[in-house]
């Protein structure tokens, strides 16, 4: 089955493709689907709203099943920010480095024990026949005092996974793809998708 990932993020495409690799799914990017110029305004107030909007928009444009992920970082000390604004925390054209720098500045002087937060991922799927799925995964952790590690993307160098006491960027993709917020959401997603399609794992 062909599905279009409603994202232009190559890191996200690889991560989701890897996690769904044993299912009979051909995941293609928006560029490959001829939607490289499509801009989807993420104006929802929740990860669920943004994720489903992306999936439905791409599905309607292509008449193909579309999968979307909306994810971000919630920091308790900042009242849940950056949240749905994670990708553009430091501005519309912000780089990962810009966002990480702003987050560290916002938490300057905040002690380690008050730097708790979580990564959130909501995976949504929209079929042309109207069937929809939306599932959430979360991963608890602490925001580091400084950037550590070179693997991953986004806030990975700042997010310390409590169980391992290392950042996602230090742990590497093999471990991250088993324990991350996206891994947890995709695990639920796989189960629901198999039920929806009548497949057996």
70 catalytic? Reply is yes
Instruction: Output the six-digit token pair for 190.
Output: 């796989």
What is the sign of the dihedral through the CA atoms of 167, 154, 71 and 193?
negative
Active-site pick, 70, 76, 93, 129: 70
Residues with catalytic roles: 70
């Amino acid at each position: 089955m062909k599905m279009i990932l409603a994202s232009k993020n190559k890191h996200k495409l690889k991560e989701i493709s890897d996690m769904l690799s044993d299912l009979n799914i051909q995941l293609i990017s928006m560029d490959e689907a001829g939607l490289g110029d499509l801009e989807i305004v993420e104006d929802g107030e929740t990860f669920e709203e943004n994720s489903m909007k992306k999936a439905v928009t791409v599905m309607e444009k292509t008449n193909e099943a579309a999968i979307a992920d909306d994810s971000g970082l919630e920091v308790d000390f900042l009242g849940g920010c950056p949240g749905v604004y994670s990708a553009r925390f430091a501005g519309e054209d912000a780089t990962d480095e810009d966002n990480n720098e702003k987050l560290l500045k916002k938490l300057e002087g905040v002690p380690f024990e008050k730097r708790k937060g979580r990564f959130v991922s909501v995976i949504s799927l929209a079929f042309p026949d109207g069937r929809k799925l939306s599932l959430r995964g979360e991963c608890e952790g602490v925001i580091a005092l400084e950037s550590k590690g070179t693997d991953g993307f986004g806030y990975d160098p700042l997010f310390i996974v409590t169980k391992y006491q290392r950042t996602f960027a230090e742990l590497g993709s093999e471990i991250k793809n088993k324990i991350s917020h996206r891994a947890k959401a995709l695990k639920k997603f796989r189960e629901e998708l198999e039920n929806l399609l009548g497949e057996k794992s």
